[in-house]
């Protein structure tokens, strides 16, 4: 009987032993562990412990990010508050001939072997907290993950008497839908993203989008480098790089974008930020869409495709000072070609002299435009220097006017305000356009007139008053309709006249959602580029609540620069 009893006990013991061992292996490091973390955590503990004492040093990587500098301060504060310790904070730099202390808390990817080994298989969202000898290692696959590890360590490990098991291991890892992605058998982690520093504003967001998608799918990100980095066999090329493969795409318009493959290189290019986002969306939809799972093998084939951003506009407006001087006739063909190239629905001209009426306006009328505000009201049919041209097929003129400004140099008739109210023949949308040329004092005027910075600025402030009065009178007569005010305002955004205008109207340059020519002036010497980083003196304003501005462009090609001393300002809008 005794033998049978021993056998029965032995069998029971063997049956429950695996359960006991399993339960021991899954014990969390603390009762306060975050549920999300615990779901993806493996913990191993044994009885032997180390105690954190006040002679420990907190180490971070030298020249590290602000995120980790903040994290190391958080750990220091936690030890100070809970243990009364004032631990030394320093970087991982070691003076030649010295060795590291055994008692270190290693935060982030330091140059210590223990940090490097712990971080070896971490993905950007993963982190690990472990003990190696007397050292505590806290590291994530990215700065953000290390910050999360720091928070977890401070909340769950630091107590009045902080002890850790010598083989403590807390690893947080995220599960991803895709295990591996390969391009023609090459793991995508071998690729790098390349763009030129001069095009960083266009492609930085696109590069980040690629990494965000990879992070979501499989928990990895690619190195983003500029064109000075060493060329590798596997690259995603954005824009005009110094790699020959980029030449398979030629972008000629701001709204164009292209994608392609050349050998093992993935190529993308675009004319503006908005188009770049369209391009990267095409790439991601075709190769890295969010529905992928498992092991993904992508076969590359050479191709190149140019597309255009798909958007619908209701109206294109252009403002252009055509420069009334002795060379006007020689430049009229270039001006006419610019207008035919862009084909705006409405054109507002400034300094439109008799030469321009004969050689440009007359040709535009033959091409299908109609002209209004060609004479000054109550001025014996004196010629207006600020006519408005409009598409005769698309719009019907319902109201107009043109007058000289109260404050200006009185010996000329060039500083006028023209306005016109139109109805779209198809949609019946009513809107108004103000076209103007603000006052200025030039060196050719008598000294008694004053200076441009004082008397001229005062004139322009009064011109702005009259623009706002005209705007309000249009609304009073025609109802709450969109009103555009465009022209050569002879003032930049830092002026009081501009500030006065923007109390009532909004600058369309600040509203463009697809493309915006930024960082350049509009005035220039004929044939010469405007000042880089300059501020335009030519503007198009609008009542913001009435429209969506898609594009704002100041063309800078050589024919435009040769045609006059002001670059045109062109906007494309859609009525709300």
84 occurs within a structural domain = yes
Q: Tokens representing 461?
A: 């402030």
Q: What is the pLDDT of residue 221?
A: 94
Q: Tokens representing 363?
A: 């040709």
89 occurs within a structural domain = yes
Q: What is the pLDDT of residue 295?
A: 94
Single out the residue in 287, 308, 329 at which a domain terminates. Answer: 308
Q: Tokens representing 231?
A: 């060329």
Note whether 288 and 325 are same-domain residues.
no
Q: What is the pLDDT of residue 561?
A: 97
Q: Kind and range of the H or E element at 334?
A: helix 328-342
With a cut of 50, list the residues of the chain below it in pLDDT: 1-47
Domain span at 168: 24-172
The CATH number given to whatever domain includes residue 95 is: 3.30.379.10
Note whether 285 and 331 are same-domain residues.
no
Note whether 182 and 166 are same-domain residues.
no
Query: Distance between CA 358 and CA 373 in Å, rounded?
Result: 16
DSSP string computed for 97-150: T----SSEEEESS-SSHHHHHHHTT--TT-EEEEEETTEEEEEESSHHHHHHHH
5 occurs within a structural domain = no
Note whether 523 and 378 are same-domain residues.
yes
pTM of the model: 0.65
Note whether 112 and 209 are same-domain residues.
no
Query: Distance between CA 67 and CA 109 in Å, rounded?
Result: 13
Note whether 112 and 42 are same-domain residues.
yes
Number of domains in the chain: 3
Is 263 in contact with 245 (CB distance < 8 Å)?
yes
Residue 34 neighbours by CB under 8 Å, 6+ apart: 152
Note whether 364 and 494 are same-domain residues.
yes
164 occurs within a structural domain = yes
Residue 576 neighbours by CB under 8 Å, 6+ apart: 545, 546, 547, 548
Single out the residue in 149, 172, 195 at which a domain terminates. Answer: 172
Is 418 in contact with 447 (CB distance < 8 Å)?
no
Query: Distance between CA 399 and CA 177 in Å, rounded?
Result: 63
Query: Distance between CA 381 and CA 374 in Å, rounded?
Result: 9
Q: What is the pLDDT of residue 384?
A: 97
Note whether 148 and 187 are same-domain residues.
no
286 occurs within a structural domain = yes
Q: What is the pLDDT of residue 546?
A: 85
Note whether 128 and 228 are same-domain residues.
no
Note whether 507 and 359 are same-domain residues.
yes
Closest CA to 238 of 251, 255, 219: 251
11 occurs within a structural domain = no
Note whether 140 and 184 are same-domain residues.
no
Is 436 in contact with 485 (CB distance < 8 Å)?
yes
Single out the residue in 255, 276, 308 at which a domain terminates. Answer: 308
Residue 362 neighbours by CB under 8 Å, 6+ apart: none
Q: What is the pLDDT of residue 4?
A: 40
418 occurs within a structural domain = yes
| pLDDT digit string, tens, across residues 465-492 | 999 999 999 999 999 999 999 999 999 9
Query: Distance between CA 56 and CA 104 in Å, rounded?
Result: 5
Burial of 447 (0-12, 13-18, 19+ CB in 10 A): exposed
Q: What is the pLDDT of residue 35?
A: 33
2 occurs within a structural domain = no
Note whether 320 and 292 are same-domain residues.
no
The CATH number given to whatever domain includes residue 407 is: 3.60.10.10
Interior CA angle at 442 toward 484 and 451, to 5°?
100
């Amino acid at each position: 009987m005794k033998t049978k009893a021993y056998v029965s006990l032995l069998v029971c013991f063997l049956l429950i032993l695996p359960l006991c061992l399993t339960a021991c292996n899954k014990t969390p490091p603390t009762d306060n562990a975050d549920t999300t973390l615990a779901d993806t955590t493996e913990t191993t503990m044994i009885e032997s412990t180390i105690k954190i004492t006040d002679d420990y040093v907190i180490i971070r990587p030298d020249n590290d990010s602000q995120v980790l500098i903040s994290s190391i301060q958080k750990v220091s504060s936690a030890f100070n508050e809970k243990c009364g310790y004032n631990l030394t904070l320093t970087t991982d730099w070691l003076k030649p001939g010295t060795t590291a202390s055994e008692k270190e808390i290693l935060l982030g990817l330091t140059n210590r072997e223990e940090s490097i080994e712990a971080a070896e298989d971490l993905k950007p969202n993963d982190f690990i907290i472990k003990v190696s000898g007397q050292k505590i290692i806290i590291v994530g696959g990215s700065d953000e993950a290390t910050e999360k590890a720091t928070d977890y360590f401070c909340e769950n490990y630091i107590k009045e008497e902080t002890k850790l098991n010598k083989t403590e291991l807390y690893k947080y890892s995220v599960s991803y839908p895709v295990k591996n992605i390969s391009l023609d058998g090459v793991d995508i982690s071998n690729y790098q993203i390349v763009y030129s520093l001069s095009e960083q504003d266009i492609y930085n967001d696109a590069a980040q989008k690629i990494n965000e998608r990879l992070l979501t799918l499989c928990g990895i990100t690619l190195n983003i480098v500029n064109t000075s980095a060493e060329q590798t066999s596997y690259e995603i090329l954005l824009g005009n790089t110094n790699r020959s493969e980029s030449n398979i795409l030629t972008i000629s318009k701001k709204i164009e974008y292209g994608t392609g493959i050349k050998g093992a290189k993935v190529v993308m290019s675009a004319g503006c930020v908005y188009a770049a986002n369209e391009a990267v969306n095409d790439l991601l939809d075709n190769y890295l869409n969010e529905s992928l799972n498992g092991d993904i093998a992508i076969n590359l084939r050479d191709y190149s495709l140019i597309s255009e951003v798909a958007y619908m506009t209701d109206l294109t407006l252009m403002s252009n000072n055509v420069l009334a001087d002795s060379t006007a006739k020689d430049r009229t063909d270039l001006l006419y070609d610019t207008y035919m190239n862009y084909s705006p629905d409405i054109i507002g001209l400034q300094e439109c002299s008799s030469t321009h009426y004969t050689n440009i306006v007359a040709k535009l009328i033959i091409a299908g435009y109609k002209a209004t505000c060609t004479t000054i009201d109550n001025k014996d049919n004196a010629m207006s220097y600020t006519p408005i041209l409009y598409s005769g097929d698309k719009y019907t003129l319902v109201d107009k006017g043109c007058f000289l400004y109260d404050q200006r140099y009185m010996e000329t008739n060039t500083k006028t305000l023209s306005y016109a109210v139109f109805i779209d023949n198809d949609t019946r949308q009513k809107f108004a356009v103000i076209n103007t040329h603000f006052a200025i004092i030039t060196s050719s005027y008598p000294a008694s007139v004053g200076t441009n910075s004082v008397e001229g600025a005062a004139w322009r402030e009064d011109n702005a008053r009259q623009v706002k009065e005209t705007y309000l009178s249009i609304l009073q007569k025609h109802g709450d309709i969109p009103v555009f005010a465009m022209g050569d305002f002879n003032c930049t955004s830092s002026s009081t006249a501009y500030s006065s205008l923007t109390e009532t109207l909004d600058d369309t340059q600040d509203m463009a959602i697809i493309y915006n020519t930024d960082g350049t002036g509009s005035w220039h010497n004929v044939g010469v580029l405007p000042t880089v980083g300059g501020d335009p003196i030519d503007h198009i304003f609008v009542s913001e609540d009435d429209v969506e501005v898609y594009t704002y462009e100041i063309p800078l090609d050589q024919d435009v620069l040769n045609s006059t001393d002001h670059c045109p300002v062109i906007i494309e809008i859609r009525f709300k």
